[in-house]
């Protein structure tokens, strides 16, 4: 008999949200809650077979987050000294290596997640991926998405380097004429952690197909407390359209344990468009419980 591991995260906030010119409203908000099933079989000689199923759920209304029930991952993998080969559905490595990595205050979920990062070339389903072994802190993955006559073939490339306090990342994705790449750095300096990324988007069409996006973030840790600040900006162009935008987030986490925190944040997206179009802000308090 095999053994299956269950794991997940329920992360829920109560927020006061303001969307553009609408009335401010109270909202119970999901922040990327999930339930996962996984298991690994040792095949001998360093070879292992694994399966991974990860369901994203709305912790506020109980619905599946996406029309695909296993919208976060549905995969089978063979791994060994050569690295790993994976088939199925999963989230792009180029994202985890860059935008997700520096969004430290609430692991890039919910209303304070990165609103400006470009998802051009983003695909999740029908993928084949190769993951390298760890070479002295360096890892990489490359993924191909089969269009299957429905959409275009897509590729995703991610690289990560971790050495002591230094953490670097690179991500690239492409589908048809559209592509994006980003570089990310993160440095730990005592109680402080500093991170940032720069991204270049090119949607391959329109009068201004490209734009530059950037973000910096910092965390200060004191006992069970974490203080966060996170600021991003984007030019106009590409998927962003005619206006640029900025996003500011201030966050405070109190870690009740390694698995559970209570926290609060204020986040605001400020577009250059008129009449508060595209603007959003939220003041939130919440609980995140990993299991």
Residues 135-154 that bind a copy of itself (CB under 8 A): 146-149, 153
DSSP readout, 117-164?
A: S--TT---SSEEEEE---BTTEEEEEEEE--TTTS--EEEEEEEEEET
Does residue 252 touch a copy of itself according to CB under 8 A? no
242 binds a copy of itself (CB under 8 A): no
Q: How far is the CB of 11 from a copy of itself (least distance, A)?
A: 7
Pick the closer one to a copy of itself by CB: 50 or 132.
50
C-alpha span between 90 and 126 (Å, rounded) = 9
Q: Which positions from 10 through 69 interact with a copy of itself, judged by CB under 8 A?
A: 10-14, 22-23, 25-28, 33, 35, 37, 39, 41, 43, 47, 49-51, 53, 57-64, 67-69
In the shown chain, the binding pattern of residues 88 to 127 toward a copy of itself, with x for contact by CB under 8 A and - for none, equals xx----------------------------------xxxx
**Pairing mode of beta strands 25-30, 154-163:** unpaired
- 179, two tokens: 């592509």
Q: Is 182 in the site for a copy of itself (CB under 8 A)?
A: no
Nearer to a copy of itself, 87 or 239 (CB): 87
Q: φ, ψ for residue 99 (rounded to 5)?
A: -60, -45
Q: Based on CB atoms, which residue is closest to a copy of itself, 87 or 250?
A: 87
| CA–CA distance, 97 with 43 (Å, rounded to integer) | 30
Min separation Cβ 153 and a copy of itself, Å: 8
Q: Residue 218 or 283: which CB sits closer to a copy of itself?
A: 283
Q: Binding to a copy of itself by residue 289, rule CB under 8 A? A: yes
Residue with tokens 């390694």: 258
* 158 neighbors 170 (Cβ within 8 angstroms): yes
Which residues share a beta bridge with 207? Answer: none
Identify the H or E element spanning 64.
none
């Amino acid at each position: 008999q095999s053994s299956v591991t269950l794991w997940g995260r329920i992360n829920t906030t109560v927020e006061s949200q303001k969307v553009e010119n609408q009335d401010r409203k109270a909202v119970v908000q999901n922040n990327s809650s999930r339930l996962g099933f996984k298991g690994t079989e040792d095949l001998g000689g360093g070879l292992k077979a694994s399966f991974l199923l990860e369901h994203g759920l709305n912790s506020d209304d109980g619905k599946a987050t996406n029309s695909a029930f296993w919208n976060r991952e549905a995969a089978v993998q063979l791994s060994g000294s050569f690295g790993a080969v994976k088939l199925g559905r999963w989230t792009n490595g180029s994202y985890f290596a860059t935008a997700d990595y520096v969004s430290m205050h609430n692991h890039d979920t919910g209303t304070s997640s990165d609103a400006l990062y470009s998802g051009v070339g983003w695909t999740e389903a029908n993928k084949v991926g190769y993951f390298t072994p760890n070479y002295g802190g360096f890892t990489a993955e490359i993924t191909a998405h089969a269009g299957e006559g429905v959409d275009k073939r897509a590729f995703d490339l991610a690289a990560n380097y971790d050495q002591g306090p230094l953490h670097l990342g690179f991500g690239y994705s492409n589908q048809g004429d559209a592509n994006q790449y980003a570089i990310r750095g993160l440095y730990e300096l005592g109680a402080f952690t500093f991170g940032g990324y720069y991204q270049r988007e090119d949607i391959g069409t329109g009068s201004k197909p490209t734009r530059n996006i950037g973000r910096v973030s910092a965390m200060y840790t004191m006992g069970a407390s974490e203080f966060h600040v996170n600021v991003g900006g984007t030019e106009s162009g590409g998927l962003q359209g005619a206006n640029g935008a900025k996003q500011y987030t201030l966050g405070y986490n109190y870690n009740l344990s390694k698995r559970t925190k209570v926290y609060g944040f204020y986040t605001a997206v400020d577009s250059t468009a008129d009449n508060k179009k595209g603007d959003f802000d939220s003041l939130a308090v919440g609980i995140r419980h990993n299991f």
